[in-house]
Amino acid sequence: MSTAKDLCIITMDEGPEAGVGQGDLSLVLAGAELIDLLAVQAVSLDGHSIVPGGPYEPHDELVAEALSELIRQLPYESVEGWLWRRGRDLSATYHASLEAAGQLTRGRRALLPFGNDHLEVAETPVRRRARSRWEAGEPTLLALAAAAGVVATRDEEAGGHRNAAVVEDEAVATVLASVDDALTELEAVRQRRSIENAAFANVWRAP
């Protein structure tokens, strides 16, 4: 099971029409990988530091890649540091992996026969597994999808209970909080660049 791959599929199935920001998704995918590694005790957290755990042989190639990138000597890497380092272009990596494995197909939008092909999720056991977790309201997947900007259509009360179940695991809660902080920082960087670009453009427009 790879929560990150399931998350990729859900964002394509359920994401807003404009799509999920690739930078945002990359950070959330790095968080998903870390949560999966925590679940199998391949890592643990000491405060906000990622401590390598016992031996573990992942069946998923990208989880194996994530495991190989852990910093295994002191000082250990912080969760936030991991999100930014591992998350660099990670959404593109996952989309490429899913496409190579036949989990994504290239379709064509209706009424646009001359190109504009786009990736669609293929109907496979992998998609059915992701949909099953999503439709069952699996707490971790819901929380990660919400962080990426995908909101489940759920009864509000039930959604509250599911989110509370995630927070009960202290390590998972720490990762989710760090993901939120990183997304906030990324948005601040975008806004700052937008202001700087607007100011630069105004210089050229000035008489």
Tens digits of residue pLDDT in 13-28: 887 665 678 899 999 9
The structural domain count of the chain equals 1
pLDDT for position 35: 96
pLDDT for position 106: 76
pLDDT for position 134: 93
* Backbone dihedral angles phi then psi of residue 43, each to the nearest 5 degrees: -145, 165
Look at residue 124 and tell me whether its pLDDT is greater than 80.
Answer: yes
- 42-78 pLDDT, tens digit each: 999 999 999 999 889 998 999 999 999 999 999 999 9
pLDDT for position 111: 40
Provide the 3-class DSSP secondary structure of residue 86: helix
Distance (Å, whole) CA 154 – CA 174 = 24
Q: What's the one-letter identity of residue 62?
A: L
In which domain, by residue range, is 123 found? 3-205
Read off the pLDDT of each residue in 92-114 and give the average, rounded to a whole number. 76
The mean pLDDT value of the chain amounts to: 83
Look at residue 204 and tell me whether its pLDDT is greater than 80.
Answer: no
Write the DSSP string, 30-55.
HHHHHHHHHHTTSEEEETTEEEE-S-
pLDDT for position 169: 87
Read off the pLDDT of each residue in 107-113 and give the average, rounded to a whole number. 47
- 130-166 pLDDT, tens digit each: 999 999 988 899 999 999 988 765 434 344 433 444 4
Contact indicator for 17, 104 with CB cutoff of 8 Å: no
